[in-house]
Amino acid sequence: MKKSLQSITQSLVPPNQELPNVPVSGIKLNSEHVIKGDLFIAISGTKVDGHDFIHDAIESGASAIISNGRDVGELTVPQIKVANPRRAASIVAAEYYGHPTQNLTVVGITGTNGKTTTASILHSIFLDAGLKTAQLGTLGLIAEGYPQETSLTTPDAITLQKTFSDLRDADFSHIVMEVSSHALYQYRVADVEFDVALFTNLSPEHLDYHSTLESYYQAKARLFRMLPFDSTAIVNDSDPNGKRMAEETNAPTLSYSQGNSSSIHFTNLTLSISGITGVISAGSMNYKIQSNLVGEFNSENILAAVSVAYALGLEKSHIENGISNCPPISGRMESFKLASDATAIIDYAHSPDAYEKVLGTLKELGTKSTNLLVVFGAGGDRDVSKRPEMGRIAELFSTHCFIAPDNPRTENPDKITQEVISGFTQTNFTVFDNRGKALKSALDRSSKNDIVVILGKGREEYQDIMGQKEFYSDLEIIRTYQ
């Protein structure tokens, strides 16, 4: 597909500035991927500055450059200078691919926890309603006819607009997508036209990137500020930031809550180790809920999904059937029965708030004889302040903890472990330098009715160590104990 440089950058240049009629056959953010005819957008990242590679991009055939105006010498191709190349990338990508979200119904889900599960429930509801739907997020792209490949929670603006374009051309009608704070802050979704935006909750996370909880909140709030009048904002009133988030938008707002009878809520709710049952009230509608998902926080995710489906006017039967038929979410409270008659639970939880929800739920649902054995660590090159808090919460709920590396990245894993165990006040933990040994030790120790909880990595199949991804799978080890 070729478009003229003029047509896709018209909103970036003053009306009196003329651009040569250069054909553009693609858009790239990485100079190593540039081929003849591509427009190269130079972006300054945290580790690498794309402006250092402008000349490499031109040598590879770039037909034009977008930059922040930094002096990189004379160029042999047109250069458009902008204040924010990240913002420009979103604008240009939407123009190049013909603003595909104008022809799609797009639901954007943001919040610290619950995004993936809520998206998966909604995906199941939409499919039951006969809507050709794609799900995009931490689990990758889930769409009929497309290979599922995990990537960033929210891809870069060019990849995102191309994906939407492909889905539109393949006659998909609905998109359910997770929207990360990084994506919002970096303008990756600035030109996505959302029909519904959902806020799940907010707790300290990604503070290595956003510095403060307020900055993290402000990044999330961008999704609601960008909503047009004809869209819908949905917020969780159970979260202290829910009402505040509702005030960020001019769009009509719906709320849901675990305890507020004036919003969408459960009129009765039963939680057990085998699932969730109850009735949700939304306006004049009552939805009978039966789900295999476990825990109060998942009942909140169900509330969120029902709120979106209700806002979009989907029929009661599709909402109820979609929830009932939704399979276990990969790496989210995923349960495995062991030969020892114990249960292993894999969950992606990697923040104090998520630890409290997962471990608190399992502690409450276990019997008096249940031992809660917790395998966990903390990721490297991430917010260090949460590490002792994760240790404190794990100690509070567990019988014994098995502390081991979890994607140490470029940090010393021993240093990370010491920061985690600084949150302990007792000695109900054992330290391992190998995650596989820690998990096997916990599984060997488990017996009937015990629960082995493996936190942090979900179904990841690698350990990220000093920039290298080495094969590792919690799930593969668990299966040898079944």
Query: Which architecture characterizes domain 3-82 according to CATH?
Result: 3-Layer(aba) Sandwich (3.40)
Q: What pLDDT sits at residue 188? A: 95
Q: 332 falls in which pLDDT band (50, 70, 90)?
A: confident
Residue 142 has pLDDT above 60, yes or no: yes
Q: Which of 129-138, 203-212, 231-240, 293-302 has the lowest mean pLDDT?
A: 203-212
Q: Could you tell me which residue, 329 or 479, shows the higher pLDDT?
A: 479
CATH match of 334-479 with 3.30.465.10: no
Average pLDDT estimate for 192-198: 98
* CATH 3.90.190.20, the chain: domain bounds: 334-479
Q: Which of 44-48, 88-92, 223-227 has the lowest mean pLDDT?
A: 44-48
Place of tokens 């009608």: 173
Q: Which of 116, 88, 99 is nearest to 192 (CA)?
A: 99
Q: pLDDT digit string (tens) for 249-292?
A: 999 999 999 987 779 999 999 998 889 999 999 999 999 999 99
Query: 383-411: string of b/e by CB count within 10 Å (b at 16+)?
Result: beebbbbbbbbbbebbebbbbbbbbbbeb
Q: Which of 219, 209, 93 is nearest to 162 (CA)?
A: 93
What's the CATH number for 100-325?
Answer: 3.40.1190.10
456 touches 406 (CB < 8 A): yes
Q: What pLDDT sits at residue 239? A: 93
Q: Alpha carbon 288 to chain centroid distance?
A: 28
Q: What are phi and psi of 434, to 5 degrees?
A: -135, 120
Q: What pLDDT sits at residue 20? A: 87
* CATH 3.40.1190.10, the chain: domain bounds: 100-325
101 touches 192 (CB < 8 A): yes
Q: What is the pTM of this model?
A: 0.86
Q: Alpha carbon 458 to chain centroid distance?
A: 13
Q: What pLDDT sits at residue 254? A: 97
* CATH 3.40.1390.10, the chain: domain bounds: 3-82
Sign of CA dihedral 94, 100, 101, 103: positive
Q: Which of 136, 128, 113 is nearest to 332 (CA)?
A: 113
Rounded CA-CA distance 292/306 in Å is 16
The neighbouring-strand residues paired with 198 are 109, 234
Q: pLDDT digit string (tens) for 28-56?
A: 999 999 999 999 999 998 789 999 999 99
Place of tokens 């008096």: 368
